[in-house]
Amino acid sequence: MTNDRAAGHRDFAERYTAAWCGQDPARVAEFFAPNGSLAINGGEPAVGREAIAASAAGFMTAFPDLVVLLDGLAEENGLVLYRWTLTGTNTGPGGTGRAVRISGVERWRFGADGLVAQSEGSFDAADYQRQLDGEAR
């Protein structure tokens, strides 16, 4: 990654992280192209800003105290890898009341407009479920 491009991606990732921490799903969706997509753990992608905002809202509702940390950025095969850690307490509707800490990655493909055209995210879903259930790691 060139220094200018790396700095631009760093700024983008920092603002994206702040949007998650700001509990504003529409703001998260603004980082995606109007027809961009977000898939999590190989699931059906959320396509378009409205669907992406709904996906983000699900996490924000489940974890009202959600904090996302930017762990790092890398470039691999033309994709930007956004590494993150999410912490929060599952106190949303129907929540378990348990605290979680999960780390993952989003693989971003940017469009010509400088927004995310496609994001494929992943995290350890089994570890996430264990934490929700209150089982020791």
pLDDT value of residue 91: 96
Q: How far is CA 33 from the centre of its chain?
A: 15
Split into its structural domains, the chain has a count of 1
Q: Is the pLDDT of residue 1 over 70?
A: no
**pLDDT single digits (tens) 114-136:** 999 999 999 999 999 999 999 86
Distances (CA, A) of 22 to 2, 67, 104, 118: 30, 9, 19, 22
Whole-number Å distance between alpha carbons of 13 and 20? 11
Question: What predicted TM-score, i.e. pTM, was given to this entire model?
Answer: 0.92
Provide the residue range defining the domain that includes 103.
3-133
Whole-number Å distance between alpha carbons of 120 and 137? 26
The dihedral over CA atoms of 71, 20, 47, 34, expressed in degrees to the nearest 10, equals -100
Whole-number Å distance between alpha carbons of 118 and 79? 10
pLDDT value of residue 8: 85
Q: Is 31 helix (H, G, I), strand (E, B) or coil?
A: coil
Average pLDDT, the chain: 94
Which CATH number fits the domain that encloses residue 14?
3.10.450.50
Whole-number Å distance between alpha carbons of 81 and 83? 6
